[in-house]
């Protein structure tokens, strides 16, 4: 049920982008108990003029390797699960493809379960 959007600067390899998606999905499976095959993920690539960010907001030094991850999910997770998700994503992406934790920006958007249709015009969770 999570819908994941990853935004980054153009120019990353297919292997890099695949690693980002695979590791974010693995972290969601671990921390949020996302079922196997519940994988709906997009990557949006941007030119420099379409990718604006603060290089030092909250004292965190970011650069052009910033990856913005927005996850829309059901509003059923605890604060502990959310913290575990953020930490797992940072750890996994730090290992592969080698993203600095300062360059991993995560936004979780929570919605009621009835706000999803996975196809056929049916609200499967309503």
Q: Which of 126, 123, 89 is nearest to 106 (CA)?
A: 89
Selected catalytic residue, list 2, 35, 97, 112: 2
Q: Is residue 126 packed enough to be buried (19+ CB in 10 Å), middle (13-18) or exposed (0-12)?
A: exposed
Q: Is 97 a catalytic residue?
A: no
Compute the distance between CA of residue 101 and CA of residue 78 in angstroms, rounded to an integer. Answer: 23
The set of catalytic residues is: 2
């Amino acid at each position: 049920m999570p819908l994941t959007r990853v935004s980054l600067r153009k120019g990353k390899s297919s292997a890099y982008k695949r690693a980002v998606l695979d590791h974010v999905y693995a972290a969601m499976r671990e921390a949020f108990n996302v079922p196997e095959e519940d994988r709906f993920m997009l990557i949006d690539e941007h030119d420099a003029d379409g990718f604006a960010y603060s290089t030092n907001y909250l004292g965190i030094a970011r650069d052009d390797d910033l990856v913005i991850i927005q996850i829309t999910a059901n509003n059923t997770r605890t604060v502990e699960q959310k913290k575990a998700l953020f930490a797992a994503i940072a750890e996994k992406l730090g290992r592969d493809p080698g993203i600095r934790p300062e360059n991993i920006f995560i936004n979780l958007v929570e919605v009621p379960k009835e706000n999803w249709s996975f196809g056929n015009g049916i609200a499967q969770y309503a």
